[in-house]
Amino acid sequence: MKKNNPIQTNIKKELWFKAKNYGYGWYPCCLKGWIVIIIYALLLALSAFILEKISTSEISFIYSFIISILILTAILWTICKKKGEKPSWRWGIK
């Protein structure tokens, strides 16, 4: 049987993101969470700017930008999952 370490049980997880009251997902609840969201938005804008400059055609820009959106969103989702409340589908406060 596993015994809980008393030091670990007293450490409270610092939340950067809280679960939404309706639907699935998170919203930032502290400065660190907002910084992550701002960095995410800036990286999306930067990737669009860079890809527009180096792409040889419109279709290559579109595909490259979609891939960058997917990668950056996966990174954001991972950060939200590690630094946020447990995600679940919610139908409001009960």
Question: For residue 73, what pLDDT is reported?
Answer: 97
pLDDT value at residue 7? 55
State the Cα–Cα distance between residues 51 and 32, nearest whole angstrom: 28
The DSSP line for 8-63 is: HHHPPPPPSEEE-SEES-EEE-SHHHHHHHHHHHHHHHHHHHHHHHH-SSHHHHHH
pLDDT in tens, 59-82: 999 999 999 999 999 999 999 999
- What's residue 88's pLDDT? 82
> What is the tens place of the pLDDT at every residue in 17-62?
998 888 888 989 999 999 999 999 999 999 999 999 998 899 999 9
Question: What does the pLDDT read at residue 2?
Answer: 54
Instruction: Indicate whether 3 pLDDT > 80.
Output: no
SS3 93: coil
